[in-house]
Structure formats: structure tokens, C-alpha cells
């Protein structure tokens, strides 16, 4: 048994329900002992047995339920074209 602790960035969490969803999903994985998600910090702390589970499996489980472990997928771009058009009339 080789226990590891890691802290993963998890993007797109917006509330405590997101935290609970991630915690419940990751806790179901074989080899995971403990999970604590934090939506305000956008991270998850995980304790797992690396002989049974690995980061790839954990990240895949998190991604499968709609969150990103690589970067935020929710980017919003606003252009000033509409504002300028109003003032150019």
C-alpha cells in the first residue's frame, strides 16, 4: 500500500453542490481514501493508494462529470464593437 496525497486544480466549480458531486464521484474510485473539494479555491485534495488508483483515472472521473482538470472551459469574450457603434452614429 503506497498512499499519496495530491492537490489538483479543478475548474468550473461554482458552489458547494459542485464540491459534493466531485467528492462523491472520486470517493467511489477504488483506492481513494479521502477527497476534499473547494469551489472557491478551484482545487481538490485527494488521498489515494497509487498501487490501485492513479491521477489519470481520477482526472478522467472529474472530467466525465463536467469539470476540467486542465484549464477553464468557460471563457467569456466581450467585444467593444457594439459600444463603439452606438457612439459613432
Q: Which residue has the higher pLDDT, 40 or 85?
A: 40
Q: pTM of the full predicted structure? A: 0.76
Fold of 3-88: Alpha-Beta Plaits (3.30.70)
Residue 13, CB-side half-sphere exposure with 13 Å CA sphere: 25
Cα angle for residues 54, 58, 59 (degrees, 5° grid): 115
The C-alpha atoms of residue 54 and residue 32 are separated, in whole angstroms, by: 9
Give residue-wise pLDDT tens across range 35-70: 999 999 999 999 999 999 999 999 999 999 999 998
Nearest Cα to Cα of residue 56 among 45, 42, 70, 35: 70
Amino acid at each position: 500500500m503506497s498512499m499519496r496525497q495530491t492537490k489538483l486544480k479543478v475548474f468550473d466549480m461554482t458552489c458547494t453542490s459542485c464540491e459534493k458531486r466531485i467528492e462523491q464521484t472520486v470517493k467511489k474510485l477504488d483506492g481513494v481514501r479521502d477527497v476534499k473539494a473547494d469551489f472557491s479555491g478551484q482545487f481538490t485534495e485527494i488521498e489515494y493508494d497509487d498501487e490501485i488508483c492513479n491521477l489519470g483515472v481520477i482526472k478522467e472521473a472529474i472530467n466525465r462529470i463536467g469539470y476540467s482538470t486542465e484549464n477553464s472551459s468557460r471563457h467569456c469574450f466581450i467585444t467593444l464593437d457594439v459600444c463603439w457603434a452606438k457612439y459613432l452614429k
